[in-house]
A and B are shown apart, each in its own frame.
Chain A
Amino acid sequence: MAFESLNAFLNMGGYAPYVWPAWGVTLAVLVGGGLQAVAEHRRRLRELRRRQRRAAADAAPREAAPRKAVPRGSHDARA
């Protein structure tokens, strides 16, 4: 262990004002990015479910053509 006490650790040999912001910002970007990515994925899935329900609701009155309620690829059909 390179430090004798918690205070010495927090003090970083006098370099606390430099070491902690550098580490803090880096870890904040990493943690924030991770949380944001997971939240984004959840949000996409939620949206998808909402669209699915709406499509099902649209299709329900007209039992004849349930497929029609599903919009097929429009702008990104190219590739």
Chain B
Amino acid sequence: MWDVVHRLGSPRTFYTIAGRWQPWLWALAALLLGTGSVWALLFAPADYQQGDSFRILYVHVPAAILAQSCFVLMAVAGAIFLVWRIKLADMVATVIAPFGAAMTGVALFSGSVWGVPTWGTWWVWDARLTSMLIQLFLYLGVIALRGAFASRDGGARAASLLTLVGVINIPIIKYSVDWWNTLHQPATFTLTQRPAMPAEMWLPLAVMVLGFYAYFVALTLTRTRSEILRREGRKRWVLELGS
């Protein structure tokens, strides 16, 4: 069993397998995102309360979901790296961090733009948006800590540990922000909390979420391959790729 783990964890095997999968995943992502976008923008019915501004949901929610899963995945990769010292796990974590931060930024942006027609202001200290903002700071901290170390291995281990601390804290932060929010704004209208959505509304959302995930996997594979080339650039098998 350990043999399998180590083979999969070998950058060389990963590079080959990911190279084979990557075009299909990009195609799948383009297909899902394309269909989802057309469906969400053209065919999904407008919301009876929010009208067509509701269509922001189709980019806001997938970005928010992905931003959260990225942190969890980063923590899993960090734990694997800390325990088994599999370098590939750290490469994946390195690559996920900026993307997760970007998705958090996108979710914050679309959320606050959505806030204008719904709340009348660009920013409301809504529980979801506030947790998102804190999550952005967590991402920035992990990225900054990794960059601050002179040795790559030290930075990798420190960032992994901070990610683990962060992932334990995220549910606590979410819970406390919710508590704080209900304390101060008893009955605000939350953007995405609504009575059960009809199928013609959530089906395109599901397609968009899947599309975002497919995109994420494709992007991570491609960027991890580049990271392998960057870090292992002096290994024999990598040099042979160049010829």
Contacts and interface: CB of A to CB of B under 8 A. Distances in A.
A2 B45 contact: yes
Per DSSP, chain A at the interface is: helix
B226 A40 contact: yes
B163 interface: no
Nearest to B220: A37
B229 A44 contact: yes
A68 interface: no
B128 interface: no
B222 A45 contact: no
Contacts of A9: 41-42
Interface string A7-38: 00100111100110111011101100110011
A65 B222 CA distance: 35
Contacts of A41: 222-223, 225-226, 229
Contact of A48 (B46, B55, B106, B239): B239
B56 A37 contact: no
A70 interface: yes
Contact of B26 (A23, A34, A49): A34
Interface string B85-122: 10100000000000100110110011001101100000
Contact of B55 (A19, A27, A30, A38): A19
Interface residues of A, number: 41
B231 A76 contact: yes
A24 B201 CA distance: 21
A21 B43 CA distance: 20
Given A22-B60, A30-B215, A78-B153, A15 B241 contact: no
B234 A52 contact: no
A26 B215 CA distance: 13
Contacts of B63: 26
B230 interface: yes
B139 to A, nearest CB: 14
B130 interface: no
Given A18-B113, A34-B215, A40-B223, A29 B102 contact: yes
B89 to A, nearest CB: 11
B215 A23 contact: no
Given A18-B117, A19-B55, A45 B242 contact: yes
A62 interface: no
B41 A13 contact: no
A29 B231 contact: no
B154 to A, nearest CB: 11
Given A30-B215, A72-B234, A22 B109 contact: yes
B33 interface: yes
A48 B238 contact: yes
A6 to B, nearest CB: 11
Contact of B56 (A1, A19, A55, A74): A19
Interface in A43-66: 44-45, 47-49, 51-52, 55
- Of all A-B residue pairs in the complex, the 8 with the closest CB atoms, nearest first, are A48-B242, A13-B52, A44-B229, A15-B53, A52-B242, A22-B110, A26-B59, A12-B52
